[in-house]
Chain A
């Protein structure tokens, strides 16, 4: 049976049209865009075109505001480090507890280096408290970095509003829009967002290409020093095949924007409703009324995520989990814990993330496949009572290990 891929927030397949557009840049169009001769010149033209396509997707004022990087992580790191280096008088960062490790791990390191990091908490639905945010803004803050949409729950943050407040205080604002781009409307010229990160492989472009949007006039310091490429803001010979591929992918994303918000959303809702109607003691996580159209994160209580994934994988279904076991750490997903999801459910959280390539038939197959898997695992769970088809009476106490 054909495998079903529902892990598009992890990465997406490269669109065949994208691959086709890239191929000549490995062969006849191999020139260095910086060269004077015709080999390079044509590549330079292709890169300029791609820059325009990204500009259109993001609604940027000018194409020079688009800087090509190697990945979302590089864009995130560049943004934060630039804000700190360009404004030595400011030593504070505001971010959120549910950011991607590309931000959180960097902030952890910066704290060790003496910077002050404020992490905004989220409520049970993964939402920020705007009053808490506004109270933190002060003239020692160099940058605010908040993700546009969360990779695990799909919850959308009001980054445009947040950017307004930051701007009013003269604070730079960065957003990690790796999950949001192509799925929710972005019009940067009408916002006060100074920097934005984007990653190619999340929108059907290849891996190894990313973008940092840098608003014209924003004080900037490059992460690396070197040649004049990307106006010295990101030196290093351009990854021309991938840049061309990302340009095409951006154009496709714009064309499919409606599909993402109608067809894909329909399939996601059908999947979520279908599973929840058939499985008891399961609930969706995140802000259900304000989230990415392709993402559904369902917590299955009293079972463990990796075991679910293994059984799904056997049926050719790919999803991902917030369970500790899949990452080799002992703590479940920081996003689920931040939302106060109890351990009994956090370990059993499964994220289904769809794309425009998924079909109704696939979704129906998944809806049929999930309930028996959960039932099978609950049968052998010490937190589950098979005779009552419910959790063991007082589940946290029913199982009282000699140590915890």
Chain B
């Protein structure tokens, strides 16, 4: 199901596993064209992305264009009970109706238990590992859960068999979903549970402690699976005043919009505790919309907005640094970072570091930061990876 898309630079990321997933997912969108050339629009990735990984994130579509990028949510279908219930691929149904490797594995030497009965999902993954080679000789599962939980477990056992532990650890939840030709957005957490069970089983075999870092808060945005803890955090740290800003930072509320009321409640609570008040507290001061709904070509926004005095070069550079500094803690939380390399005219060149490097969400992160820079500087700027400096000169 299409939940949202981002327009990003073609040259930034392209991962093989995502492409495979893309082709199967595109069948569901007959109106959407897949263009493999280096001109025009490109649909590049469908899947779940690292930025929101800890929060059971959802399917999304990243649409890449030749040389420009912008972040643009589109009109999205809201995810309803009716549409989700039986919206499984043939492969999911196949693995649910005829699960592979179900049942206990008597001589397992690696066992991973994840999930809980409270949540209605629990998975035990049992592996038989050959100690000499670290090779997984056999894998079985026991699952308490819905159709997609059982299918994901079945898929996982098929995927890991014959692999070494290190090879198995590379399997992401997107890979599990891809194996099943995709999962409905609300069921992506089933594939996450599969990956976690794998990590837990391997940790169990190696004698490591494995602990999960699930945030525990009320689920606010069901489309992107963002909980109240994350929203509170970004609102507090960045003094966000509008729902649109929260969407820019977390994606929460970027799809079906049914959680905007809840987001406002979280914001009001956090901001009031800080002695601040949200932009929507006064009806006569409407919340400004900061999310562009369409891609605006740079030329159209180059004018200096009226009312803002022009900054000197030094002021402008300091302002850019200031904005980047406010964003760094957010990236660091996801074990990434950003540094400014150079500022040439409207182009700001940066290096993404740590987990941000090669992260599939990099493009969306860029879009978000660029948006923040627009607002703070009051002018159009372009955020680019430093690797593109040569290309543009």
Chain A contact residues: helix, strand, loop or mixed: loop
Q: Interface size class for chain A?
A: 35 or more
| Total of A-B residue pairs, C-beta within 8 Å | 108
- Report yes or no: B113 in contact with A400, Cβ–Cβ below 8 A: yes
Extra contacts, 19 of them, besides A330-B120, A381-B143 (Cβ < 8 A), are A304-B145, A305-B146, A307-B145, A307-B150, A310-B86, A323-B120, A323-B146, A324-B120, A380-B143, A382-B113, A382-B122, A383-B122, A386-B104, A399-B117, A402-B200, A402-B212, A403-B116, A403-B214, A404-B116
Give Cα A307–Cα B121 distance, bound, in whole angstroms. Answer: 11
Give Cα A402–Cα B102 distance, bound, in whole angstroms. Answer: 21
A146 → chain B closest CB, angstroms: 26
Q: Mark A317-337, 1 if CB is under 8 A from B, else 0.
A: 000000111111111100000
The answer to whether residues A306 and B146 also contact, given A380-B103, A402-B212 and a CB cut-off of 8 A, is: yes
Q: Mark B241-272, 1 if CB is under 8 A from A, else 0.
A: 00000000000000000000000010000000
Q: Which of A305, A307, A382, A400 contacts B96 (CB 8 A)?
A: A307
Give Cα A305–Cα B117 distance, bound, in whole angstroms. Answer: 12
Q: Interface size class for chain B?
A: 35 or more
Give Cα A385–Cα B281 distance, bound, in whole angstroms. Answer: 57
Chain B contact residues: helix, strand, loop or mixed: mixed
Question: Which residues on A sit within 8 Å (CB–CB) of B115?
Answer: 401
B115 → chain A closest CB, angstroms: 6
Interface residues of B (CB under 8 A from A): 79, 81, 84-86, 96-97, 99, 102-104, 112-124, 141-147, 149-150, 186, 200, 210-212, 214, 219, 222, 265
Q: Which of B86, B119, B122, B265 contacts A313 (CB 8 A)?
A: B86
10 tightest A-B CB contacts, nearest first: A325-B146, A306-B146, A382-B142, A404-B116, A380-B102, A403-B212, A401-B113, A382-B124, A324-B120, A347-B120
Give Cα A31–Cα B223 distance, bound, in whole angstroms. Answer: 44
B323 → chain A closest CB, angstroms: 35
Give Cα A164–Cα B183 distance, bound, in whole angstroms. Answer: 53
Question: Which residues on A sit within 8 Å (CB–CB) of B200?
Answer: 401-402
Q: Is the CB of A283 closer than 8 A to any CB of chain B?
A: no
Question: Which residues on B sit within 8 Å (CB–CB) of A314?
Answer: 97
Question: Which residues on B sit within 8 Å (CB–CB) of A328?
Answer: 79, 81, 84, 186, 222
- Report yes or no: B114 in contact with A403, Cβ–Cβ below 8 A: yes
- Report yes or no: A306 in contact with B147, Cβ–Cβ below 8 A: yes
Question: Which residues on A sit within 8 Å (CB–CB) of B102?
Answer: 379-380
Give Cα A186–Cα B31 distance, bound, in whole angstroms. Answer: 53
Q: Mark A171-185, 1 if CB is under 8 A from B, else 0.
A: 000000000000000
- Report yes or no: B145 in contact with A399, Cβ–Cβ below 8 A: no
B184 → chain A closest CB, angstroms: 9
Query: CB-nearest residue of chain A relative to B101?
Result: A380
Give Cα A325–Cα B143 distance, bound, in whole angstroms. Answer: 14
